[in-house]
Amino acid sequence: MFEFSDRTNALREKLLRFMDTYIYPNESVFDAQHQAQTDHWTPPPILEELKARAREEGLWNLFMPHNEFGAGLTNFEYAPLCEIMGRSHLAPEVFNCAAPDTGNMEVLAQYGTKEQQDQWLKPLLNGEIRSCFSMTEPGVASSDATNIECEIRRDGDHYIVNGRKWWSSGGNDSRCKIAIVMGKTDPDAPKHQQQSMILVPLDAPGVKIERHLSVFGYDHAPHGHAEILYDNVRVPASNLLLGEGRGFEIAQGRLGPGRIHHCMRLIGVAERALESMCKRANERVAFGGPIAELGGLRQDIARSRCEIDQARLLTLHAADRMDKVGNKVARREIAMIKVVAPAMACRILDRAIQVHGAAGVSQDTFLAAAYANSRTLRLADGPDEVHRETLAKLELRAHQ
């Protein structure tokens, strides 16, 4: 089976202590402070306090594989740490390991110029600002990225950006200062060379946050998901990432780690849901005895343990493959876990909600919000159907 290094195990224990000491006790503090604020899109003070403490303890930028910029962990080494962070809605940002900043930082580290890194990567690494990723559009099926219609047109020493994006997660946050926008620079080029990515400051003239999008009624503030209009937005040509027609190349480099990070966090939230289910089953009495004695519930608990451990092993295998052969070669394993992990988490959260009864769908437990988030991840970074199609093609090709 898989074994972790002494360094990974030490970080894991340190992270677990931090979670027990600071994260879990402050989840309700965060929520209370946030509800008391008039500015819904600015985080409450407790968040910056926790971030400062995490940085002091060296639990910072753990996702970043580059030693120059972060902890220098491999995908496999980061996996158990990301799982722990997934247990709380607070934890990823506390440790500066929250999407979409993680993917955007990786893009800037891998593809950005020194000037782009100095202006945007450094403040992101320091947790001073946040960012969003503007790819999905309301007018087209964005699961096929060749459909993207946003225009990025060269005009002398500048590019002009025109398009409407939505699900730009983090765009509502008052600290969000930069967007990575994907759009077409050459509609006549070969299909996968039409798209480019460009850095667009959110305070640039012509950028308009039109509304926030809710997820099953949750606004996910202060982070949120924004619909953004880019109306004749003029940015310097030096803001282009890597070069014209390189958008798909960047997207593939960005999405591999991002997809597996989501899966790692989903395993963490599923573990917490199973723990919550078991505690509730042992504490509640109905029809003359603890509900833990009901056969159907015991079957659900057993299934949940099997499903979590299966997903964890598949995720670790995918992470190991990414480290050894690269994201492109490991696309089969990445597609598999992206299908398996969100569906697994949704099933286990659904069972935990059922055990909690009415409390399970209320704000008194983490379960309802966690379910909404987990269900969304069956669409984010590619819907299940796209990943299954990838898997089917690879399987058929192997047996021609």
Same domain, 41 and 80: yes
Same domain, 228 and 309: no
Does any domain span residue 28? Answer: yes
Same domain, 99 and 166: no
Residues 236-282: tens digit of each pLDDT:
999 999 999 999 999 887 777 888 899 999 999 999 999 999 999 99
Q: What is the mean pLDDT of residues 291-320?
A: 96
Does any domain span residue 306? Answer: yes
Q: Is the pLDDT of residue 223 over 80?
A: yes
Residues 130-170: tens digit of each pLDDT:
999 999 999 999 989 899 999 999 999 999 999 999 999 99
pLDDT band for position 70 (cuts 50, 70, 90): confident
Q: Identify the residue whose tokens are 């995490």.
A: 54
Does any domain span residue 149? Answer: yes
Our count of domains for the chain comes to 3
Q: Is the pLDDT of residue 24 over 90?
A: yes
Same domain, 83 and 66: yes
Measure CA 385 to chain center: 19
The CATH number covering residue 49 comes to 1.10.540.10
Same domain, 342 and 358: yes
Q: Could you say which DSSP state residue 365 is in?
A: S
Does any domain span residue 1? Answer: no
pLDDT of residue 271: 98
**Beta bridge mates, 305:** none
Does any domain span residue 122? Answer: no
- Choose the final residue of a domain: 241, 268, 284: 241
Run of H or E including 256:
helix 247-283
Q: Identify the residue whose tokens are 């099997």.
A: 306
Same domain, 217 and 350: no
- 33: containing domain: 6-112
Q: Is the pLDDT of residue 233 over 70?
A: yes
- Cα dist. 268→16, 24, 31, 66 in Å? 12, 14, 21, 24
- Choose the final residue of a domain: 241, 274, 298: 241
Q: What is the mean pLDDT of residues 191-208?
A: 97
- Are residues 140 and 147 in contact, defined by beta-carbon separation less than 8 angstroms? yes
Same domain, 99 and 155: no
The CATH number covering residue 295 comes to 1.20.140.10
Tokens representing 180 are 């990575």
Q: Is the pLDDT of residue 195 over 70?
A: yes
pLDDT of residue 287: 86
**83-87, 326-330, 341-345, 393-397 — which is least confidently predicted?**
326-330
Does any domain span residue 121? Answer: no
Same domain, 20 and 74: yes
Same domain, 20 and 108: yes
Q: What is the mean pLDDT of residues 177-181?
A: 98
Q: What is the mean pLDDT of residues 358-373?
A: 96
What is the percentage of the chain residues whose pLDDT exceeds 90?
Answer: 91
- ∠122-123-124 over CA atoms, to 5°? 90
Tokens representing 263 are 């899966």
Does any domain span residue 117? Answer: no
Same domain, 80 and 140: no
Same domain, 200 and 259: no
pLDDT band for position 321 (cuts 50, 70, 90): very high
- Rounded mean pLDDT of the chain? 95
- Are residues 192 and 146 in contact, defined by beta-carbon separation less than 8 angstroms? yes
Q: Is 150 helix (H, G, I), strand (E, B) or coil?
A: coil
- Choose the final residue of a domain: 222, 241, 260: 241
pLDDT band for position 1 (cuts 50, 70, 90): low
- Euclidean distance between CA atoms 185 and 200, whole angstroms: 15
Residues 97-107: tens digit of each pLDDT:
999 999 999 99
Does any domain span residue 351? Answer: yes
Same domain, 99 and 136: no
The CATH number covering residue 209 comes to 2.40.110.10
